[in-house]
Amino acid sequence: MIQSQPLTTNGYYEERYRPHIHFTPEQMWMNDPNGLVYFEGEYHLFYQYHPNSKQWGPMHWGHAVSKDLILWEHLPVALYPDELGMIFSGSAVVDHKDTSGFFDGKPGLVAVFTHADGDLQRQSIAYSKDRGRTWVKYDGNPVIPNPGIKDFRDPKVFWHEDTEKWVMVLAAGRKVQFYTSPDLKQWTYVSEFGEGWGEQKGVWECPDLFPLTNETSGEKKWVLPIGIDAGAPSGGSGTQYFTGSFDGKHFVPHQPKETVRWLDYGKDFYASQSFSDVPGRRVVLAWMSNWQYANDVPTDPWRSAMTMPRELTLMTVAGQERLIQKPIAELTSLIEKRMEHDPFVLKEKNSVDLAQPASPFLWELGVEMEKGGAFEARLFGTQDKGLRVGIDREKKVVYVQRDKAEGDFSKDYACTCQAPLCGDHSSFYLKIVCDHSSVEIFLGDGEISMTNVYLPAADHEVKLKMEAVRGKVEVKQTSVFEMRSIWKPNT
Ligand code: FRU
């Protein structure tokens, strides 16, 4: 249950918003996940971090490690700003063959990041010989000087097997550029992609590039997710993606220029990055905030959380190639208590209150709806204050309505996010991951996800309710799983 905390100076009960199953820094400001990599049995999570303030500022790389992507151990700051500037976003790789020569022939970790000095952005590297515990910046930094582009940042690097080279994808204004290297130190520009493609309303940031096999067609594809700092469907920052082919130098999209596909339709899913070197699956993590209000979210003594790590696959759904997201299977290890309901029918305009779980919890529900019908699931609050998830077959949308926060800290917080339904069918399955200050929704197999920060008002405890808004709704399944908390406060 939500703990009552002493009222803090600015009037909010902020510590009660502390996520219990999502990663947060113990204190101070965090934004993008950086350097996600799996090495010698540990997942590394670095992140944009300002250790002295709850506001964005001189960026460092904070650091945590985990054996299962669920329980994280906080480690000291990995990278500090220096004479070349602040340490902006980037990635990390395992240099298995010691191509860099940093590791005496053994495998080791190399981080590739942006050095930002005022408006001057350049790419640099650092290496660690002790499983990420300490880092040495390369004395030849920067490894890619600025070619005269203001927004030139966020390198994501991977080893390209076919050409036996390192490849870097880098955000450059409203497009991405590709570079290759034999050793992570000398980089050659090879091509660019994106001018005029997809959503162009904002600057492109934090690109990624990885192969996935389309499980419907069996074809191998390359997926290129990219953040835009403004212009996402729910307003503010968001993440779009392209699918296509990549030969080690050129990305060729398999979609029309104007098509825009979103990785997530919620308000708070940004700067996503996939883990490098994870055998057998592609796992992504994103920053769970939005640049519209990230600096003002009333939590204390930390600010921002990461999303639940998600496994990505690729499928064709209703004729469209789509990324499918599922919370990682490891999440089920936190389940403590299962609350189940027998199937029932809700007549039009009728609603039912369910047993109230303690937060955090997972809610899985399966409903059957008539043509033109609409259904709503409420998670918190009362009639016009709180958070609701709805599916509307007439409007062909799934939506999340988030009402004003207590304290009303930003005009952009209250919102209705919506995503178009894929195809016209009558059964819907929803998986909802609910923590003390976030609600993540996965529809169907995960072909639509919607991620939102949600800060329940003091009198808005969890309240699960289902309503047949239009037409009859058959509730085939509703299972609620209370989850064990992984949050360990400092003593
Ligand atoms: C995205 C971003 C990146 C940049 C970092 C700075 O949220 O703007 O483009 O590297 O944050 O903290």
> Which strands form 165-172's sheet, in the order they lie side by side?
152-160, 165-172, 175-181, 188-193
Using CA atoms, how far apart are residues 275 and 283, in angstroms rounded to an integer?
6
Q: Which domains can be identified in the chain, with CATH numbers?
A: 11-327 (2.115.10.20), 337-483 (2.60.120.560)
Q: How far is the CA of 32 from the centre of ligand 1 (A)?
A: 7
Structure confidence at residue 405 (pLDDT): 84
154 Cα nearest atom in ligand 1: 10
Phi, psi of 414 (to 5 degrees): -65, 130
Report which of 370, 414, 419 is spatially closest to residue 390, judged by C-alpha positions: 419
Closest Cα to atom 8 of ligand 1: 205
9, pLDDT greater than 80: no
The token pair that represents 124 in the structure block: 């640099």
Calculate how far, in angstroms, residue 68's C-alpha sits from the geometric centre of ligand 1.
Answer: 26
Distances 24 to 46, 47, 210, 435, 437 between C-alpha atoms, Å: 12, 10, 26, 12, 11
pLDDT in tens, 67-106: 999 999 999 999 999 999 999 999 999 999 999 999 999 9
Distance 36 CA to ligand 1 centre (A): 15
Task: Tell which atom from ligand 1 comes closest to the C-alpha of 116.
Answer: 10
Q: Give the separation between CA 66 and CA 38, rounded to whole angstroms.
A: 9
- What pairs with residue 123 in β-bridges? 114, 144
Asked if 32 is an active-site residue, the reply is: yes
What type of residue is 147?
P
Q: Measuring CA to CA, how many Å separate 2 from each of 291, 361, 405?
A: 27, 13, 17
**Residue in the block written with tokens 């016009």:** 384
Task: Encode pLDDT of 403-430 as tens digits.
Answer: 988 878 999 999 999 999 988 899 999 9
Q: What's the rounded Cα separation, in Å, for the pair 371 and 425?
A: 8
Spatial distance between the Cα atoms of 298 and 286, rounded to a whole number of angstroms: 20
Q: Identify which of 363, 307, 372 has the alpha carbon closest to the alpha carbon of residue 335.
A: 363
Q: Atom of ligand 1 at shortest distance to CA of 88? A: 10
What SS3 state is found at 330?
A: helix
**Within a 10 A sphere around the Cβ of 358, how many other Cβ atoms?**
15
Give residue ranges with CB within 6 A of ligand 1.
31-32, 48, 59, 88-89, 114, 153-154, 205-206, 271
For strands 302-303 and 28-39, give the pairing.
parallel
What are the structure tokens assigned to 81, written together? 């700003």
At 291-349, the pLDDT tens digits run 999 999 999 999 999 999 999 999 999 889 999 999 999 999 999 999 999 999 999 99
DSSP string, 373-423: -EEEEEEEEETTEEEEEEEETTTTEEEEEEPPPTT---TTTSEEEEEE-SS
Q: Whose CA is nearest to atom 9 of ligand 1?
A: 205
Q: Residue 330 — φ and ψ, nearest 5°?
A: -60, -25
Ligand 1 site-directed mutation target among 46, 47, 48, 287, most atoms within 8 Å of CB: 48
Cα 266 to Cα 425: distance, rounded to the nearest angstrom:
23
Ligand 1 center to 290 CA (angstroms)? 12
Residue 224: count of CB within 10 angstroms of its CB? 24
Question: DSSP character for 238?
Answer: E
Q: What average pLDDT does this structure show over 33-49?
A: 98
Tokens of 118: 């005022």
Can you tell me which atom of ligand 1 is nearest the CA of 114?
A: 10
Please tell me whether residue 332 adopts helix, strand or coil conformation. helix
pLDDT higher than 50, residue 4: no
In this structure, the number of other CB atoms found within 10 A of the CB of residue 289 comes to 27
What is the pTM for the complete model shown? Answer: 0.95
The backbone region for 342, taken as left when phi is positive above 0, alpha when psi lies in -120 to 50, beta otherwise, is beta
Residue with tokens 């590039």: 209
Q: How far is CA 254 from CA 1, 227, 245, 259, 272, in A?
A: 48, 19, 7, 10, 22
Candidate from 233-237, 259-263, 276-280, 460-464 with smallest mean pLDDT: 460-464
Rounded mean pLDDT of the chain? 94
75: Cα separation from own chain's centroid: 21
- What is the per-residue pLDDT across 206-248, written as a single tens digit (0 to 9) for each? 999 999 999 999 999 999 999 999 999 999 999 999 999 999 9
Distance CA 326, CA 431 (A): 9
- Residue 138: both structure tokens together: 């390369």
Number of H helices and number of E strands within the chain? 0, 35
CA of 85 to the centre of ligand 1 (A): 14
Quote the longest CA-to-CA distance of the chain.
70
* Res. 11 pLDDT band, cuts 50 70 90: very low
Give the whole-angstrom CA distance, residue 95 versus residue 309.
24
Q: Which residue, by CA, sits nearest to atom 6 of ligand 1?
A: 88
Mutate to test the pocket of ligand 1, among 31, 60, 306 (most ligand atoms within 8 A of CB): 31
**What is the structure's pLDDT at 487?**
84
Token pair for 214: 């389309």
Q: Report whether 376 contacts 346 (CB < 8 A).
A: no
Instruction: Kindly give the distance from the C-alpha atom of residue 441 to the centroid of ligand 1, in angstroms, as a whole number.
Output: 25
Instruction: Categorize the per-residue pLDDT at 361 as very low, low, confident or very high, splitting at 50, 70 and 90.
Output: very high
Q: Which of 154, 176, 208 to mutate to test the pocket of ligand 1 (most atoms within 8 A of CB)?
A: 154
Residue length of the chain:
491
The atom number, within ligand 1, closest to the CA of 56 reads 12
Locate tokens 């058959």: which residue?
474
Give me the catalytic one of 32, 208, 264, 300. 32
